Amino acid sequence: MNLLIADNYDEMSRMAAEILINEVKANPSIVLGLATGSTPVGMYKQLIQDHRSNGTDYSQVQTVNLDEYIGLEKTDPNSYFRFMQENLFKFINIAEEKRHIPNGTAVDPHAEAERYDHLVQQLGGIDLQVLGIGQNGHIGFNEPGTPFSIRTHIVNLADSTRRANARFFDKFEQVPEHAITMGIANILESRHILLLASGASKADSIKRLMEGDISEIFPASALKLHKNATIIADQQALQLTQIK
Ligand code: F6R
């Protein structure tokens, strides 16, 4: 893993956007794996600003999101479909038919997971996968204990993950209990992985990632098996880590 150190959230976001924009320019029909959550929002803002100022073209780009809650309509303010609309898709020229997110309201979620997995393969796999990290080390919604060999699947969200995400909902009980997520195998097949981490709440998980063993108990440790994984972490996220 290659570690890039940022002073703060804004710098992390700028560094990540620069890497992504350069990859889009080098390969206009790139397949981007995208994440939701608080972490990539600043990077998405940078992409929007760059698209407006410099006209970076996304018309041939394909995007595949990591995950979606099961049971939330696309229009639900907390669906990841809606998140992507509001934080990125409304503002840059990715063609609608080239934006892919698992369907959280499919009648048969297992069949949807299988369809999504095939879709990612049909697109030729992911060129650049953006990831955040959960406080328990999850990537996508692959919770501790998930086999590294698993592909797109249905998960029971850990209580800690539902509590961490409850900040977006009116109350904890509204946080869905299940989600569809790409598996760790899909993530590891990406040609380049970019994991972003900012703030003191990620300090424990970044320490474990940088200094701990490779173990299915800590899903993000799978990135150590990848030959082209870049971590961009800010000073607060690195505060418990030896390497600074
Ligand atoms: C989001 C995702 C999750 C988040 C993680 C961190 O699509 O797959 O793994 O990246 O939960 O969330 P934030 O960025 O909100 O701290």
pLDDT at 79: 97
pLDDT at 14: 98
Does 136 participate in catalysis according to the annotation? yes
Q: Which of 87, 112, 117, 138 is catalytic?
A: 138
Give the C-alpha separation, 81 to 78, whole Å.
8
- 99-128 average pLDDT score: 98
- Starting at the earlier edge strand, list the strands of the sheet with 192-197: 2-6, 229-234, 192-197, 128-131, 31-34, 62-65, 99-100
For residue 172, how far is the Cα from the chain centroid?
22
pLDDT at 244: 55
Using DSSP's 3-state secondary structure scheme, residue 161 falls into helix
pLDDT at 4: 98
- 236-240 average pLDDT score: 98
- 61-74 average pLDDT score: 97
Dump the DSSP string for 10-35.
HHHHHHHHHHHHHHHHH-TT-EEEE-
Give the C-alpha separation, 188 to 223, whole Å.
7
Residue from 12, 139, 157, 186 to probe ligand 1 pocket by mutation (most atoms less than 8 Å from CB): 139
99 lines ligand 1 (CB under 6 A): no
How many CA atoms, within 13 angstroms, populate the side-chain half-sphere of residue 106?
Answer: 19
85 lines ligand 1 (CB under 6 A): no
- 41-69 average pLDDT score: 98
Using DSSP's 3-state secondary structure scheme, residue 109 falls into helix
- 33-49 average pLDDT score: 98
pLDDT at 156: 94
Q: Please tell me the pTM assigned to this model.
A: 0.97
| Ligand 1, atom 9: closest residue by C-alpha | 140
Give the C-alpha separation, 127 to 20, whole Å.
10
Local confidence band at 135 (pLDDT 50, 70, 90 cut-offs): very high
Give the C-alpha separation, 135 to 205, whole Å.
6
Does 138 participate in catalysis according to the annotation? yes
pLDDT at 214: 98
Residue 12 has pLDDT above 60, yes or no: yes
Does 234 participate in catalysis according to the annotation? no
| Nearest ligand 1 atom, CA 37 | 15
Question: pLDDT digits over 177-229, tens only?
Answer: 999 999 999 999 999 999 999 999 999 999 999 999 999 999 999 999 999 99
Q: What are the two backbone dihedrals, phi and then psi, of residue 176, each rounded to the nearest 5 degrees?
A: -55, 150
pLDDT at 26: 98
36 lines ligand 1 (CB under 6 A): yes
Using the mean position of ligand 1's atoms as its centre, give its distance from the Cα of residue 165 in Å: 9
Share of the chain above pLDDT 90, in %: 98
